Structure 1
Amino acid sequence: MNTFNNITIDKDGKTAVVTINRPSKMNALNAATLSEIAQAFHVLEADNEVRGIILTGAGEKAFVAGADIQEFVHLNKEEATQLSRRGHEEVMNVIYNFRKPVIAAINGFALGGGLELALACHLRIAVESAKVGLPEVSLGIIPGYGGTQRLTALVGRGKALEMIMTGDMITATEAYQWGVLNHVVTEAEDLLPKAKSILERTYLRSATAIGAAIEAVNAGIQDSAVGSEAEIRLFGECFGSEDMKEGVAAFLEKRQPNF
């Protein structure tokens, strides 16, 4: 198995656990981490011993608390558009279309790009204390890694717009009630066992049929390809705005933005 700096891969029988391992940064998704996630899924796709993947975060605080905002500061419109496109094509779409089941085990905050990473997975399980949200409008931007499309597909237009327009976090219980999550567990130590128990049930079924089912289900939603292109374009356009400059500056200076 490859050596990584920002993630770990642990195999347990037919299950691979991919852990985002930047706890000092709340497991934020910087470019290097996204690249390593892409590499990991390439490796796991070719590993015939692996039948399912669990994606989780290191530590007790965060699954992934968002993208690494420091990397946004100097991006122009074109660079931001390319950032969004790479995230879609190299990571989020790869997971979304992966032919082996992928479960997000949300152990803490899943915000912004972190929630988008979880939304790309086939199923989502969270510990009761976890919170999720898409706070991008607080930075003067929009979700750029599939959030506008995949959240809407799960919860409907009204709830998706409520989360995106307010930027508010919701509890795991609310996320379950809204349809963001498949399951909620009370204790953190129950999170991975719950994910593994679901995967173990899939291992009793045909891997070929499961891959076909994933493809068929996704095919029915595929006009979101149009929506994804719109999201990529609009995410990039936000980087030309004064709101984005103020939102990111306020975040880095730990103050409220003045929009």
Structure 2
Amino acid sequence: MGAGAAVSLRVSTDKDSGVAVVTLDRPDRLNAIDLGMVAELKKCWRELRFDDSVRAVVLTGAGGRAFCTGIDRDAVVPQPDSPYMQDDPLLTVGPKANDLWKPVVAAVEGMACGGAFYLLGEAEFVVAGTTATFFDPHTTYGMVSAYESVLMAQRMPFGEVARMVLMGTAERISARRAHDIGLVSELTQEGGALEAATACAAVIAGYPAEATQGTVRALWSAKEAARAQGFAQAPHLVSLGNLPADRQAGLFAARRRDGFRVR
């Protein structure tokens, strides 16, 4: 990060428990990911690979209103003028994308939507407060949900993923429903997700690191082939299906903030 650049990520480490808490810290932007945060996340995961005092990680968002709302719409991402090449900065924000195989537990309060699934899709499991909601707005704004759909298809029943990504902003999955379908492993009272996730991480961190990291690696080996195949199709589908940026912006500007149901 350049001199004077705002820091949008906080990392706190408890050497006694072996748990690091990584907090997305742009609450005024609902923890949307700008290019600065992309760089910070990559740096964070790479550094945690070398910190042997950290044996488990909790990932959460600041402010309580949102875990993360995906890519910041003000972020400018230049694209090659070719349907065969596409730059997606969110492909590099997750722990697995940065070769970190320490267990990661996500703690979700408030909204988790769109590009948030790049992060949730690379956590081992998710703990959520009762007011958490999950949705994918891509189709509403004329965009293909590609990477998000692939990642969530490995965490949720097919019909639930299909409904979420196709219904766009018209519906949000409640924390209770997310728990019922297996996306969320533990449901807490509002504001309790971080404490519960940290307690789980502390238990895991108390076990031999070689065993937990090997187990994480084994778990992910069962998913890698399907994910790689899905991701290979994503750039072409996005190039074919996305509306031009100005039309996306028009749909976004015309959005209704209260026009959804929670199920």
| TM-score tier (shorter) | 0.7 to 0.9
Which letter does structure 2 place at the counterpart of 1:194?
Answer: A
Distance verdict in 2 for CA 1:93–1:7, change over 3 Å: closer
Question: Where in structure 1 are there 5+ consecutive unaligned residues?
Answer: none
2:166 aligned with 1:165, yes or no? yes
Identity %: 23
Which letter does structure 2 place at the counterpart of 1:135?
Answer: P
For 1:1-259, list aligned pairs within 5 A.
5-13=7-15, 14-71=18-75, 78=82, 82-84=86-88, 86-88=89-91, 90-92=92-94, 94=96, 98-144=100-146, 146-167=147-168, 168-188=171-191, 190-224=192-226, 225-239=228-242, 241-242=243-244, 245-251=246-252, 253-255=253-255
Q: Could you tell me whether the CA contact under 8 Å between 1:54 and 1:103 is conserved in 2? A: yes
Alpha-carbon separation, structure 2, partners of 1:111 and 1:64: 7
Aligned to 1:218, the other structure's residue is in SS state: helix
Aligned to 1:116, the other structure's residue is in SS state: helix
Alpha-carbon separation, structure 2, partners of 1:49 and 1:4: 27
> RMSD over aligned Cα, in angstroms?
2.5
1:17-42, CA deviations, whole angstroms, 9 ceiling, x for partnerless residues? 11111111111011211111111111
Alignment length (residue pairs):
247
Distance verdict in 2 for CA 1:47–1:174, change over 3 Å: same
Which letter does structure 1 place at the counterpart of 2:233?
Answer: A
Question: Where in structure 2 are there 5+ consecutive unaligned residues?
Answer: 257-263
Alpha-carbon separation, structure 2, partners of 1:132 and 1:56: 15
TM-score (norm 1): 0.86
The Cα shift of 1:236 comes to 3.4
**4+ residue runs of structure 1 moved beyond 4 angstroms?**
72-81
1:99-125, CA deviations, whole angstroms, 9 ceiling, x for partnerless residues? 111111112110101133222211111
Aligned to 2:128, the other structure's residue is in SS state: strand
